[in-house]
Amino acid sequence: MILFWVALLALTTLLYVLLDGFDLGVGILFGLTNDEGVRRKMLAAISPVWDGNETWLVFTGTILWGAFPRVYATLLSAFYLPIILMLGALILRGVAFEFRYKSLGSRWIWDLGFSGGSLIATFVQGTAVGALAKGLPMVDGHYVGGSFGWLSPFACLCGAGLCFGYALLGAGWLVLKCEGYLRDRAYALLRPLTVGVFVFLAVAFVYALALHLRIMDRWLERPCLLVFPAVGLAASIVLARGIMGRYDRLPFFTTAVIFLSAFGTLAVSFWPFMIPFAITIDQAASPPSSLWFMFWGEGLFVMPLVLTYTAGVYRVFGGKLVAGGYDEH
């Protein structure tokens, strides 16, 4: 039963990263243009799905609490300030979607909230992953780092890296959904973003080696890990091909595969720890009575229902944006 909930948690986390990743990415790119027409189209490309995407964060949070309360308690309290910052950023970003169309004089405030909120939320998420990979200051399974124990140059590097990553996903999504000028712009952005992501990955790898991070030993202990960079590399070749040949579907889905391989790398490196080298999955898990209680209702029935519904929404809103369609203001 523990494995079931680990798998489900991995699934909701991955779905959150991929789905909210692209709309946060579009939010980041939103700040790069001043053109009102382009901005409207960018919003239209994500507005039917963005808060459904964000729901996966809530699912992840509550599954974490119910199934792995020690990790929920430790992570959220260790990352106190960044989490609060992320929640505030997500709220501002969320209301900006529509509030910007209401206010005539203060639209710039909501626009700032939208792009700034997207950037901050992304940066916080990347920083958290970086801090976990680097290793939180933990003694006997308890966090001892104080308000800023998570903060390090490496963590910030990962925060910046994720901004490039989500922006790449976002640009891929725009190519997928848009035509004309915006599609051209997104293609133009894809190249530097791809380069940025790979520079980040290389720097992070070398930096991690130089820091003698314990997690890097996993590459020697578990050679099977090499599968993931191989998959990622293959995906990036296809991505480059897609950008050159302007195959609209390729950039988004290949970037998703790159994210998948990064996610796989981290998951296999962490295993069997949830908070590396401090709390294992088994130590964190709720008692069986809790896990089974969750399984019979939400695991068995509600989760498949939610997945089906999500797939349905993406079908309804699939394809290129149509001018004057459901998504135009």
Partner 1 sequence: MDLTALFLSRLQFAFTVSFHIIFPSFTIGLAAWLAVLEGLHLATARPVYRRLFDFWLKIFGVAFGLGVVSGIVMGFEFGTNWSRLSESTGPIQGPLLSYETFTAFALEAAFFGVLIFGRPRVSPALYFFSTLMVALGTTFSAFWIMVNNSWMQAPVGFELQNGVFVPTDWVAIVFSPVVWVRFPHMLIAAYLTGAFCVAATGAWYQLRNSCVAEARAMLRMGLFLAALLVPVQLFFGHLNGDYVHERQPAKFAAIEARWHDEQPAAEVLIAIPDAAAEANRFELKIPYLGSLIATMRLDSKEVGLDDFPKSDRPPVAIPFFTFRIMVGCGLLMMAIAWLGSWLQLKERMDRQRLLLWATFLSFPLPFVATLTGWFTAEVGRQPWTVYGLQRTADAVTPNLAVGAALTSLIFFGAIYLVIFSFGTLYIYRLLRAGPSMPEPAQPTNSKRPLALAGAIATEGGR
Nearest to partner 1 of 54, 235 (CB atom): 54
Among 199, 305, 311, 323, binds partner 1 (CB under 8 A): 305
Q: Which of 189, 187, 173 is CA-nearest to residue 314?
A: 173
* CA gap 78, 274 in Å, rounded: 14
Provide the 10 A C-beta neighbour count for residue 91.
13
86 DSSP 8-state letter? H
Among 37, 153, 297, 319, binds partner 1 (CB under 8 A): 297
Distance of CA 186 to the CA centre of its chain: 20
Q: Which amino acid, 30? A: F
What type of residue sits at position 26?
V
- Minimum separation from the CB atom of position 146 to partner 1 (A): 7
Report the chain's C-alpha Rg in angstroms: 20
Residue of 162, 189, 298, 321 interacting with partner 1 (CB under 8 A): 298
Tell me: cis bond preceding 48? Omega within 30 of 0 counts.
Answer: no
d(CA 77, CA 71): 10
Q: What residues from 11 to 50 belong to the interface with partner 1 (CB under 8 A)?
A: 44, 47-48, 50
Q: Using CB under 8 A, which of the segments 130-138, 181-189, 207-215, 290-298 binds partner 1?
A: 290-298
Q: How far is the CB of 93 from partner 1 (least distance, A)?
A: 10
Give CA–CA dist 232/256, Å, rounded.
Answer: 10
Subset of 114-143 contacting partner 1 (CB under 8 A): 142
- Closest CB to partner 1 among 91 and 227? 91
Q: Which stretch binds partner 1 (CB under 8 A): 18-26, 70-78, 124-132, 177-185?
A: 70-78
- Kindly report the CA angle at 303 between 298 and 306, in degrees rounded to 5? 130
Q: Which is nearer to partner 1, 233 or 302 (CB)?
A: 302
Tell me: does residue 302 bind partner 1 (CB under 8 A): yes
Question: What are residue 327's phi and psi, to 5 degrees?
Answer: -105, 10
Residue 75's Cβ-count burial label (10 Å; 0-12, 13-18, 19+) is buried
- Rank residues 73 and 257 by Cβ distance to partner 1 and give the closer one: 73
Residue 108 sits in the site that holds partner 1 (CB under 8 A): no
- 83: contact with partner 1 by CB under 8 A: yes
Note the residues at the interface with partner 1 (CB under 8 A). 44, 47-48, 50-52, 54-55, 57-59, 61-63, 65-67, 69-70, 72-77, 79-81, 83-85, 87-88, 90-92, 94-95, 97-99, 101-102, 142, 144, 146-147, 286-287, 289-290, 293-294, 297-298, 302-303, 305-306, 309, 313, 316-317, 326-329
